[in-house]
Chains A and B, each alone.
Chain A
Amino acid sequence: MFGFLGPNGAGKSTAIRLLLGFARPTRGRAFVFGTAAEDVERAHRLLAHVPADVAPWPHLTGAETLDLLAATSHHTDLRYRAELVDRFDFDPSKKGRTYSTGNRQKVALIAAFATRAPLLVLDEPTSGLDPLMEREFRRAVEDARDNGQTVFLCSHQLAEVEAVCGRVGILRAGRLIEVADVGDLRGLRRSVVTVTCAGQGPDLAGVEGVTGLERVGSTGLRFTLTGPPGPALRALAAADVTGIAVREPGLEEIFLDYYGETGP
């Protein structure tokens, strides 16, 4: 399970297009299990792909699209495909043009998982799915892992990659800046906390896990919290806190924070 992380415009989809032979490299080469990426006939027997933006044929129903893809794929497990149709609660009788974003994504996910290909290249596969379907997606990924398949999951959501992947690569401005185990990236996980207090407010300078402390207006404080929240909460408990908001920062913010403006 390999997560491919990067902010918008980092070049994740371009890298995938190179890997699939859709785009031609100006320099260098790409290989899929030792097969050159441009040898599509052989390389694509080894992989299945879910694009970020799925555009099924508008005049084909979901079932017909799945049949077409099964006919052109190297192998499709039809029984597993029927099971996936059920699990993803997908109605295959409707025409492509009537499907919502989530349903279009389901067509591609079902077709890709049903191939049982050794490598699944998934490009932002859950961006249109509701939480229930996201759970089904994670189940399908786990099935693939148990089956010995490799999943290459491209995302800009840290949480999704953390939940599914063992190893992570981070792409920034077209360069792979880090490849590490997910555990090693715990340092990336952080929250942005904003508190408002009656009166002076607590002194958080030097509290463990608190960085980037700044004042917001006359009664507010904002800081970034890394690691266990206990010490910061204890410090806050002493003050008269009237409001608290905690949010997950975006990947871009994390990267800026973690690597600085110019990167490592």
Chain B
Amino acid sequence: MIGLVIRQIWRGALIIAVAAGTVSALVAAGHREFIAGTGTGDFAALAGDPAIRIMFGEPVALDDPGGFTVWRTGASLAVLVSAWALLTATRITRGEEEARRWDLLLTGPITLPKLVARHIAVLVTAACVPGMAAYVALSAMGTGQRGAALHGAGIALVGAFFAVVGVFAAQMFPSRAGATGAAVAVLGVGFGLRMAADASVSWLHWSSPFGLLALTRSFASDRPWPLFVLAFTAGVVAVATLAVAGRRDLHNGLSAPRGGRPAQRRLLSSPGAFAVRCMVPSWCGWAVGLGAYYLVMGLLTGSVTGFLADNPRFADLAADAGFTALGSSEGLAATLFSLLAVPAGAFAAVRIATVAAAESQGRFTLTLATPVTRARLLVAETGAALGGVLALLTVVGSAAWAGTLSGDTPIAWASALAGAWNTVPIVLLSLGFAVVALGWAPGAVTGIGLLPGAGGFLLFVVARSVDAPAWITGVSPFGHLAAVPREPVDVGGALGMAAIAAVAAIAGWMGLRRRDLRM
């Protein structure tokens, strides 16, 4: 049983651990260069600026390579590990249960709570691996042992906490989508509370896993007890999870399903309308999460640009990583909007991945037996996904614009929309790659669809940080993305990416047309 669970998650755990170790080692190695051009006054300014604290967390011990790495990578690494842990948790628990594979497992002598307990044990262990990788990487770079151990343990515990939250949500909600949505909401609220804590209400640190991680102040005060609180809370959630697992029926959440409901007949009239209908619930989640994040970023724009204008050393540092001209509202907005390509591309890839999942679960057997062709289904699903992304970008651009209105240097609504829509070519690439995968490797749609956005971004940042040759940055779509709204749109780059996306989509269609459906 344990072996079965390990088989379902080891690849993801390995990829996240390698990423955590590599990024930690690279950033720690770059510390010397950072320290060379920075004075102690700069540190004080950085630590004292509320906007910097809200966006990146409180900088402590920047003079130490370990402390510097924790500040630069800690928050994003914690979010990455948490997101992976909770998505994996709902996939292998509620996802497997929904696919009725747990029916088979539970015909053996094992009970539902015991099965859930084994999943928790493996997930928690796996979630600790990236934290261990960060610890090993930092130790290897010669940072303080205690700080590295605390940082690694913190990342591991935050990941473990969200793995348990994912399994808990999977006990409460009868569908994988519902459970994932609820767990992601916990992550979003946790991160928001950490931001609020860094903004002013510092006791709120105690209410968020990310806040508790920050309270350890690795490489400065090295306090272990916030992690005890986090471990205790994760334990409480785990106990509650097992209690719920013992009370509920298989295939149900905690409460029995309702008797029925009146039919809601909107958006059932065609495959396209139905694709939109299926997308709406998750779209709302993405819009709320991304909209809230960009609203906060908009609110902070004025104070961050002011800080970077006063402290050019940090603006130079960001420029080294490819983020130029952060000292102006437009420049900062352009950087933040280029980051938007990562979640927007992920949204597109996930939409196509749900098509692949629906196919393998046999959901299309009924609709494709009617005069609906594969072509029409593909156009409906990709069209809905593209429409969803465009609507998402509009919401996010508007949220960022609304945020900047409160500061001294608001950006125009059209500029904000232009910045958000500037990521469309990368989104098209993500869609194109996802469609190729749907045609030729339908089991790997999410992974391949994430390559242009998340993969391209990682490649771009790492390549710029280590001064890699220009052709390497040129491979990444982010190398062809103009800093809109500070610069005009790179029309050539956009058209080039759109053309590649179109070729990919056609290749995907050819694969889908000739292969057997998996049902």
Contact = CB atoms under 8 A, between A and B. Distances in A.
A151 to B, nearest CB: 15
B261 A93 contact: yes
A49 B260 contact: no
B469 interface: no
Contacts of B374: 40
B371 A93 contact: no
Contacts, number: 109
B371 A97 contact: no
Contacts of A47: 369
- B-side binding surface: helix, strand, loop or mixed? loop
A123 to B, nearest CB: 10
A69 B257 contact: no
A225 B318 CA distance: 88
B262 interface: yes
A154 interface: no
B383 to A, nearest CB: 16
Q: From B175, B371, B374, name the one whose CB has the most chain A CB atoms within 10 angstroms.
A: B371
A262 to B, nearest CB: 29
B367 A68 contact: yes
A67 B362 contact: no
A97 B371 CA distance: 25
B271 interface: yes
B370 A74 contact: yes
Interface in B342-394: 361-363, 365-374
A104 to B, nearest CB: 10
A40 B372 CA distance: 7
A24 B516 contact: yes
A155 to B, nearest CB: 18
Contact of A68 (B174, B268, B516, B517): B268
A73 B370 contact: yes
Interface in A52-84: 53-59, 61, 63-65, 67-69, 71-74
Q: From B262, B270, B367, name the one whose CB has the most chain A CB atoms within 10 angstroms.
A: B367
B371 A22 contact: no
B371 A74 contact: yes
B42 interface: no
B98 interface: yes
Given A64-B268, A97-B251, A22 B368 contact: yes
B271 A61 contact: no
A67 B260 contact: no
A41 B373 contact: yes
Interface in B219-263: 251, 257, 259-263
A91 interface: yes
A41 B371 contact: yes
A92 B260 CA distance: 8
Nearest to B367: A72
Contacts of B102: none
Contact of B366 (A45, A54, A64, A98): A54
Interface in A14-53: 17, 20-24, 40-42, 44-45, 47-49, 51, 53
Contacts of B516: 17, 22-24
B269 A71 contact: yes
Interface string A85-129: 000000111110110000000001001000000000100000000
B367 A69 contact: yes
A51 B366 contact: yes
B366 A69 contact: yes
Contacts of B519: 22, 51
Contacts of A64: 263-265, 268
A39 to B, nearest CB: 9
Interface in B251-306: 251, 257, 259-265, 268-271, 274, 278
B261 to A, nearest CB: 6
Given A93-B262, A97-B98, A97-B251, 11 more contacts: A22-B517, A24-B515, A48-B370, A54-B366, A56-B366, A58-B98, A64-B268, A68-B367, A69-B366, A91-B260, A93-B263
